[in-house]
Structure 1
Amino acid sequence: MLDWEFIYANIPLYQQALRLTVRLACFGILGAFVLGFLISLIKFYRIPILSQLCQIYIELSRNTPLLIQLYFLYFGLPKIGLVLSSELCAVVGLTFLGGSYMAESFRSGFEAVSKRQYEVGLSLGLTPVQNVFYVIFPQALAVALPSLAANVIFLIKETSVFSIVALADLMYVAKDLIGLYYETDEALLMLVLAYLIVLLPISLLARLVEGRLRHAGFRPSSDFSGE
């Protein structure tokens, strides 16, 4: 049987840890969106040198765990005199990891848009920047949305390793309670529920938006695709 008194007594700890986790996740995911979008534009326009550097970053980021990246930021950088706070390490690490995934999602969206769409935008007198934001990006976003939503959920789940840099996040609180009171089932139940409170609405909202886009027929034109 679950110890409900233990659960009720420790709800405030999980609430505090949840707020910290969500706050850091929001900053990290926002940074990942911005970084990923910029990288996808560089690769979309095939800018020399920068495009190759972005590909190196993507391979490095996607093929190293967030745990190792946080170790490097928190324990490695001080060796060269650069000390970051625990929260900044968490945000930078999540941005570094998430940027590569967001970039690939945006890239797939951009590639799904017909090149003729880009040419038509230019023929109408739009600048390259206006063309991207008013013509290409809305269509690309409709394609990339499911992948972007999956990346958001993935990155929030990755916050479970933040405790390695001495942050009192959800996982830290759960491990602390288990170590102190041996109430494993109760601590893990609250941990699962806390993540569900955050992740389930995001998943449902992403499905709703995707369904609305499909129903509205908001899809990039396939005419002249790749030509």
Structure 2
Amino acid sequence: MNLDWEFIMESLPLYGDAMWLTVKLALIAIVLSLVLGLVFSLVLFYKVKGLRSIILAYIELSRNTPLLVQLFFLYYGLPKVGIHMSEFQCAVAGMTFLGGSYMTEAFRSGIEAVGRTQLESGLSIGLSRVQLARYVILPQALAISIPSLGANAIFLLKETSIVGAIALMDLMNVAKDLIGMHYKTAESLLLLVLAYLILVLPLSLLLTWVERKVRHAEFGN
């Protein structure tokens, strides 16, 4: 198969811009999802009345509806009731809505893995709920949850390929446009695959390194 290297070189700036957009979108969505997941998991753990049922309903709604449907609702549905957001804002909101539920479940599994004896011991020596969460629950829960959190972060990064449906010029949209205009399918898809590999592989290696460091610091092995 002969590749058009001149076309590849000319297309690199387009993919570079799309990669930068993907990085910004994924980074913001991952950070917001982690914050939501942490807060919601603690609410579920402490069984806060009223909020617990709302969060459980949110998790079921988020995990059982496609991201594409969520994006369409935000981009096309909300303007009908007077709420307008840019394409980028809709993408961030949709991915955070999806990612928050997965991060909540990841944190919750880590929190629930902390021994009840430790919790009871912390309460017996007079620790408040905040102190118990900060000094006993979260350090251990984080170490346990890191593999799931990392997998969710990679999942969100790859899910950015959906946001082209609301007119954002992400990597997938750039590849589709180039194929449609120039009929350079092999070259466009090669650049698409390489772009995602460049984004996902370093993140995967970084998360593996972080997991090892945290587990070593927490458990000493």
TM-score range, shorter chain: over 0.9
State the Cα deviation string for residues 3-38 of structure 1 (Å, max 9, x = none): 111111110110111001110111111111111111
The residue aligned with 1:225 is none
Corresponding residue pairs, total: 219
Alignment check: 8 A CA contact 1:113 1:140 kept: yes
Q: Distance in 1 between matches of 2:116 and 2:180?
A: 58
State the Cα deviation string for residues 19-64 of structure 1 (Å, max 9, x = none): 0111011111111111111110111111122111111100000000
Question: What is the root-mean-square deviation in Å for CA atoms of aligned residues?
Answer: 1.4
Q: Distance in 2 between matches of 1:101 and 1:165?
A: 23
State the Cα deviation string for residues 85-121 of structure 1 (Å, max 9, x = none): 1010000001000000000000000000012222223
Q: Distance in 1 between matches of 2:218 and 2:46?
A: 27
The residue aligned with 2:160 is 159
The answer as to 2:103 corresponding to 1:106 is no
The residue aligned with 1:139 is 140
Letter in 2 for 1:2: L
Q: Distance in 2 between matches of 1:212 and 1:36?
A: 22
The residue aligned with 1:168 is 169
Q: Distance in 2 between matches of 1:134 and 1:102?
A: 21
Q: Distance in 2 between matches of 1:214 and 1:134?
A: 16
Aligned-pair identity in percent equals 59
SS of corresponding position for 1:126: coil
The residue aligned with 1:194 is 195
SS of corresponding position for 2:97: helix
Alignment check: 8 A CA contact 2:123 2:132 kept: yes
SS of corresponding position for 2:219: coil
The residue aligned with 1:222 is none
Letter in 2 for 1:10: S
Q: Distance in 2 between matches of 1:215 and 1:72?
A: 44
Gaps of 5+ in 1: 220-227
Q: Distance in 1 between matches of 2:131 and 2:203?
A: 30
Alignment check: 8 A CA contact 2:140 2:218 kept: no
State the Cα deviation string for residues 158-208 of structure 1 (Å, max 9, x = none): 100111111111111111100000101111111111111111011112222
The answer as to 2:14 corresponding to 1:5 is no
Letter in 2 for 1:131: L
Letter in 1 for 2:179: I
In the TM superposition, 1:64-83 aligns within 5 A as 64-83=65-84
Letter in 2 for 1:59: E
The residue aligned with 1:19 is 20
Decide whether aligned partners of structure 1 residues 126 and 217 sit closer, same or farther in structure 2, where only a CA change above 3 A counts. closer
Q: Distance in 2 between matches of 1:213 and 1:71?
A: 39
Q: TM-score, normalised by structure 2?
A: 0.94
Gaps of 5+ in 2: none
The residue aligned with 1:56 is 57
Letter in 1 for 2:137: I
Q: Distance in 2 between matches of 1:26 and 1:201?
A: 14
The answer as to 2:97 corresponding to 1:92 is no
Alignment check: 8 A CA contact 2:3 2:187 kept: yes
Alignment check: 8 A CA contact 1:77 1:83 kept: yes
Alignment check: 8 A CA contact 2:19 2:195 kept: yes
Q: Distance in 1 between matches of 2:207 and 2:30?
A: 15
The residue aligned with 1:224 is none
SS of corresponding position for 2:26: helix
Q: Distance in 1 between matches of 2:129 and 2:20?
A: 40
Decide whether aligned partners of structure 1 residues 38 and 214 sit closer, same or farther in structure 2, where only a CA change above 3 A counts. closer
